[in-house]
Amino acid sequence: MDDRDQKLVVYVMQSIFSVIGTVGNSLVLYIYFRKKEKSTSSIFILALAAADFFTCLLIVPFNIITLSLDYKHGYDAVCRLYMFLITGGVPFATLIMVAIAFDRYFCICHPFLHVITIFRAKLIILILFTFAGILGIMVALMYGINDTILDPSSQSNNSCFSNMSFPYEPVTCNSTSYKVNASSPELGDSSNPYHGMCSPNYDIFNEDFVLLFSKIHAILYLLMFIFVVVLYSLIYREIHIRRARKAKRKRSSLYPSQSCAHEASMGETQMTLMHGPMSDGNTEEPTKNGHSSKRRKIGATLKEKQFYANIRTAAMLFIVTIVFLIAFLPALLMTQELIPYNIVIFYTYFVYNTANPVIYSFMNQSFRIELKNLYSKMCKGSWKH
């Protein structure tokens, strides 16, 4: 498949992502926003859906236009706006994934600490949004429309712009069709295939700073991957330990040891010898104890239900995280030139912004019920009209 066919595949693929993602995430926003009792997980899901909705509605179409123009926007403002959106909006969704992992960790492993409350969840989202915006602004200031570029033969791995910031596509030069010296007047010629391209610009920041920032940017993604994997590993470990404890308690209640049974019978005999058999007048205290025991059992049952509800939510969000890792990792490795570049595989990372509503539909029963209710209302409304 040649470059033109690959780009056509990317256009079709991203168009599908844009339509499905916009519709799907708008449904998630509608359903979760209407919930009366919001938990920390629903707050983070709302933020993630908003980021995905914005990406599918604006960033993906903007990316299709940019690819069709071969990154030749014509104006610095448009070039920098594109860089701001793609390097600010996409990382925001990634940062929300890390926040969700921390929320699930404290909710399951340390439920009594109440570290992340509703207010703190909203504050975290605001901080992450600001941080992602700063990242986008920094990258935007490092790019612009260049009339001249460096000699491709002088750069490592034959890459025109080796200091790309993820998730920006690493543009590769073809040295056989473009061989000029850095001082050649042909560099500013409009016939140059790289003339007017949106690329790194050193007017504001020098080249060393841009290169350092791009490395920090890539390391930031790597750290987020590590945080997410470690936190979900700790969650799995906690669930495994609790299940082992529950199984042990169940075995001990079904098959008590002989020593425990002997001690219980000896204690009962001693009580009978000391006080005689229990009379009808002493029925009040056992009744109270019975009510107390019943309340304890109800409390334990509610805690257990809440724990398993948290596990189900964590399992759903873990699948979201797995899709996130699978979608983003190839693109990240390509920008760092660790694996060969392929434009189709590179831009599959946008599938992450589309997949979340599908995951919620399959793994969240209440979400499915709300979708059915919404569909029923829409059908009734169409019949009335």
How high is the mean pLDDT in each 10-residue block of the chain (385 residues)? 84 93 91 83 89 92 90 86 88 87 87 87 95 92 72 42 53 38 41 69 84 83 85 85 78 60 47 44 48 56 63 75 82 81 87 83 76 80 58
Strand, coil or helix: 144: strand
pLDDT of residue 226: 87
CA dihedral 99, 316, 231, 222 (to 10 degrees): -70
Distances from the Cα of 357 to the Cα of 23, 318, 369, angstroms: 9, 14, 14
pLDDT of residue 293: 57
Look up the pTM and report it.
0.73
**Cβ-proximal residues to 123 (8 Å cutoff; 6+ apart), any chain:** none
- Crossing angle between the packed helical segments 40-54 and 3-33, to the nearest 10 degrees: 140
Query: Cα–Cα distance between 334 and 346 in angstroms, integer?
Result: 7
CB 96 within 8 A of CB 131: no
Query: Cα–Cα distance between 188 and 154 in angstroms, integer?
Result: 18
CB 38 within 8 A of CB 118: yes
Query: Cα–Cα distance between 335 and 207 in angstroms, integer?
Result: 18
User: How many CA atoms within 13 Å lie on the side-chain side of 342?
Assistant: 9
- Sequence letter at residue 131: F
CB 27 within 8 A of CB 357: yes
pLDDT of residue 134: 93
Report the relative pairing of strands 143-146 and 197-200 from DSSP bridges: antiparallel
